[in-house]
Amino acid sequence: MTSPINPVFEDIRLTVQRAADGRFWFVAQTICQALELADEQAALLLHCRPEGILFGNEETPQAMIDLENLLRLSLSSTSPRAERLRSWLCQVLLPHLFSSSSLPSYRQLSTANKRLRVLKWHDDWWMSVNDVMQVFGTRAELLAMSEDPCCS
């Protein structure tokens, strides 16, 4: 997951993270708070699809829900905030999350004698296999080096 961002909806600080597959995940507790749902566990069990719920690896794991489950909760909530949350989500948060800042970007990486192109996407850096082979050599070259007694 990418580094969390913390947008604020009506003085409630939410936490959103983006998974490597591009899906957005929201901390369920603060979403339930924003929707004025008193029993978070009951709301998740009653209204959310299980495949859209994740539990973190913290000492006390917190539930995270995907965008679909956030919408399911907001549609089932009777709170007047629910409609405002959906409106804020569609008009403010999602455009921000999908803005050009979240698109992949290319950078140049200079090594001792090579200039390589790397891709930054979702807080990860990516290189082509070709570029990696230019820096480290081909598999055959690496295997030959490992068999060479001077390299042991």
Phi first, then psi: what are they for 66, rounded to 5°? -80, 175
Do residues 16 and 25 lie in contact, with contact meaning Cβ atoms separated by under 8 Å? yes
Helix axes 80-88 and 67-76, enclosed angle (nearest 10): 150
* pLDDT tens, position by position, 58-92: 777 889 999 999 999 999 999 999 999 999 999 99
Percent of the chain scoring above 90 in pLDDT: 38
pTM summary value: 0.64
